[in-house]
Amino acid sequence: MNSSRRNFLKLTAASTLAVFPTSADASSGENARNFDDQFGVLVDTAVCVGCRKCEWACDNANSLSDQPLSSFEDKSVFVSRRRPTDQRYTVVNQFASTNDNQKKNYIKLQCMHCNEPACVSACIVGALKKEPEGPVSYDAWKCIGCRYCMVACPFQIPAYEYDNALDPEVRKCTFCLEKLRKGEKPACVAICPNEALTFGKRGDLIKMAQSRIALNPDRYIDHIYGQHEVGGTSWMYLAPVDFALTDLPKLPDNPIPQATETIQHGIFKGFIPPLALYGLLGLAMYSLRQRKQNGDSDDERH
């Protein structure tokens, strides 16, 4: 059997196996984990000054646009609301911190690294994974580009490289997983000059947030966004106003496996026999890998 054929069968089998643990991971046994011991970040929007240094640090750490720090001092970006993209994993937006629109505050957005991520349960090939440290990681090698994760995410975070015709990937904040594993803070947290971002164990951050609210009841509303939303998130927020005035959506406390179940049930509608589907997925993965390998070879030749 030639190696291409062997690889194809391996990939088909891998994709078949990947379907079941992926859904189960996100909706059953993994729920027993104590998320309080995982890493998280508390974003205090009342302290953030909108300097955008976190955007630069993220750009730099992930080799995105490689623009100098000075280019992130441009405050004209606050004229419109921005969303994270495939070229910018985090963005800072301005919002009115009072109902009369006078005082301004800022909010940094990125992947929330949900405790029970809808993107993970939507991904039928296991390309997305909730790591034991807290981050939701992405494996481009496994990704088949179906973009179910984009549909499932309640925060509209995963971004697809539509401009990359040859080797598109899903891009989002990585929570600087490699840095965390070396005992370092995420790049954005390390650079924040105002300590608007606090990195630590999720349980400790919740206690810190509760204490800040108790000590400063006039400064914060009594709500830690992300403590309970969609089952809790690794990134959590404090704000001086109702979160409806920020960029964070109003969401239920329960995880939202319904969205991912809808996606997966949709796949099985239309009488596509599962084994045939897995075969197709394996073929898609094989074809993608071949393209990537050919691309790599081409790159090496140039």
Site for ligand SF4 in 168-197 (CB under 6 A): 170, 172, 191-192, 194, 196-197
Question: Does residue 149 interact with ligand SF4 by CB under 6 A?
Answer: yes
Question: Total residues at the site for ligand SF4 (CB under 6 A)?
Answer: 41
Site for ligand SF4 in 201-260 (CB under 6 A): none
DSSP H or E stretch at residue 204: helix 202-215
Cβ 17 to ligand SF4 shortest distance, Å: 15
Q: Token pair of 201, please?
A: 């164990």
The span from the CA of 138 to the CA of 109, in Å, is 18
Question: Does residue 135 interact with ligand SF4 by CB under 6 A?
Answer: no
The span from the CA of 284 to the CA of 295, in Å, is 16
Instruction: Pick one of 18, 19, 91, 144: the residue that binds ligand SF4 (CB under 6 A).
Output: 144
Q: Which residue has the tokens 């494996």?
A: 139
Please say which residue, 8 or 110, places its beta carbon nearer to ligand SF4. 110
Please say which residue, 52 or 185, places its beta carbon nearer to ligand SF4. 52
SS3 state at 55: helix
Cβ 128 to ligand SF4 shortest distance, Å: 5
The span from the CA of 226 to the CA of 241, in Å, is 15
Cβ 302 to ligand SF4 shortest distance, Å: 27
Instruction: Pick one of 19, 109, 128, 236: the residue that binds ligand SF4 (CB under 6 A).
Output: 128
Strands (E) across the chain are located at 39-44, 91-96, 104-109, 128-130, 136-138, 159-160, 170-171, 197-201, 235-238
Please say which residue, 8 or 175, places its beta carbon nearer to ligand SF4. 175
Q: Token pair of 196, please?
A: 């608007």
CA dihedral 10, 13, 19, 24 (to 10 degrees): -100
Binding site for ligand SF4 (CB under 6 A): 48-54, 92, 106, 108, 111-114, 117-119, 122-123, 125, 127-128, 136, 143-149, 153, 155, 157-158, 170, 172, 191-192, 194, 196-197
